[in-house]
Amino acid sequence: MERWHPFPHNASEFDYPGERLAEAWPDLHRGDGMVFPDPEWVARQLEEYPEAAPAAFDGNLAQLAADIRQAWRCFHGGDFQGAVARAERCGYLAHAAANKAAGIYATYLEPDEGRRREIFLNAVERAERAAQVLPDDPNTHYFLAFNLGRYSQSISVMQALRQGVGARIQQALEATLTLAPEHSEAHTAFGMYHAEVIDKVGKMIGAMTYGASIEAALEHFERALELTPDSPIARIECANGLYLLFGERRLDEVTELYVRASEMSPKDAMEKLDVEAALAELE
């Protein structure tokens, strides 16, 4: 695999060794609702979905759980390529670590457009496989939608329409919120889905063809902010969505959302990149 670009900031403050990861987990994963991967969780998952185990699994639940946690430590510390590599050795139980790491890396740190699209599409394929094995895991569907959404932003409107990307994103987000109605990141993504569809094809076609509406976008953004008021990305995407929907008419509100996001203390490498993105918008 081609070497990915390193996290460009000091990652020492995002190190979660030993029990620190469990202590910080509720705050780190308030947005995606991931359950802490201890041996009991691994046992429950494999009892229901034995195909989710890695090919070389020897029955050591504690070791598999530790490997999954290490993939997440890599993600939170900004070693996104390491997170993907470690996660892929854990079968499907670490799909979220791999697909979140890939999506965040490609969004923020990969400068080459072709390489960025390739990473998104690899994550989409990985998420589709995970959704077949773990159909009741909301994050299999969410990270499919997340990477499809990022991929769609890297291609033309006509390409996205021809490939049916919008419908796939909508279906994946609906599946996520059916399984986990309080999945904050899915609410944020669904708000952006409605806003981007309306921006690209207009209110009438957006409503008739894709079921998109301004009201739905605002409802999803509001719910995401209620669920994760300390999330930089929830505010950034709400700001982006408001600008797509209303332009300069709500610029003061958009700016305030960026300001609030830029002032937040990041809990991990992803949020550090989010905060830096908010600062860049204010320059």
The residue that leads in pLDDT, 1 or 24, is 24
Which residues have CB under 8 Å from 32's CB, separation 6+? 96, 100, 139, 142, 183, 184, 185
Mean pLDDT value of segment 72-92: 98
Mean pLDDT value of segment 188-199: 94
Nearest to 241 by CA among 260, 279, 263, 213: 213
The fold of the 1-164 domain, in CATH, is 1.25.40
Distance in angstroms (rounded) separating the CA atoms of residues 176 and 99: 15
| Confidence at 28, pLDDT banded by 50, 70, 90 | very high
Domain 1-164 and domain 182-283, same fold? Reply is yes
User: What pLDDT does 67 receive?
Assistant: 98
142-167 pLDDT tens trace: 999 999 999 988 887 668 777 888 88
Instruction: Kindly report the pTM of this predicted structure.
Output: 0.95
255-267 pLDDT tens trace: 999 999 999 999 9
Nearest to 165 by CA among 126, 210, 133: 210
Share of the chain above pLDDT 90, in %: 87
197-214 pLDDT tens trace: 998 878 888 787 778 899
User: What pLDDT does 88 receive?
Assistant: 96
Task: Give the C-alpha distances (Å, rounded to integers) separating 44 from 26, 38, 39, 170, 184.
Answer: 20, 10, 9, 29, 24
Distance in angstroms (rounded) separating the CA atoms of residues 137 and 92: 11
- Cβ 73 vs Cβ 179: under 8 Å: no
Distance in angstroms (rounded) separating the CA atoms of residues 245 and 202: 10
- Secondary structure of residue 156 in the 3-state scheme: coil
- Quote the crossing angle between the two packed helices 214-227 and 232-246, to the nearest 10°: 160
265-274 pLDDT tens trace: 999 999 999 9
User: What pLDDT does 156 receive?
Assistant: 74
Mean pLDDT value of segment 126-133: 98
Distance in angstroms (rounded) separating the CA atoms of residues 151 and 107: 9
**pLDDT of 84 over the 70 cut:** yes
Strand segments, DSSP code E, in the chain are none
| Confidence at 56, pLDDT banded by 50, 70, 90 | confident
Mean pLDDT value of segment 24-43: 98
The residue that leads in pLDDT, 154 or 84, is 84
**At residue 110, what are phi and psi to the nearest 5 degrees?**
-95, 110
Residue count (the chain): 283
CATH for the stretch 182-283: 1.25.40
* Domain chopping of the chain, boundaries: 1-164, 182-283
**pLDDT of 106 over the 70 cut:** yes
Nearest to 61 by CA among 90, 20, 19: 90
Distance in angstroms (rounded) separating the CA atoms of residues 206 and 26: 36
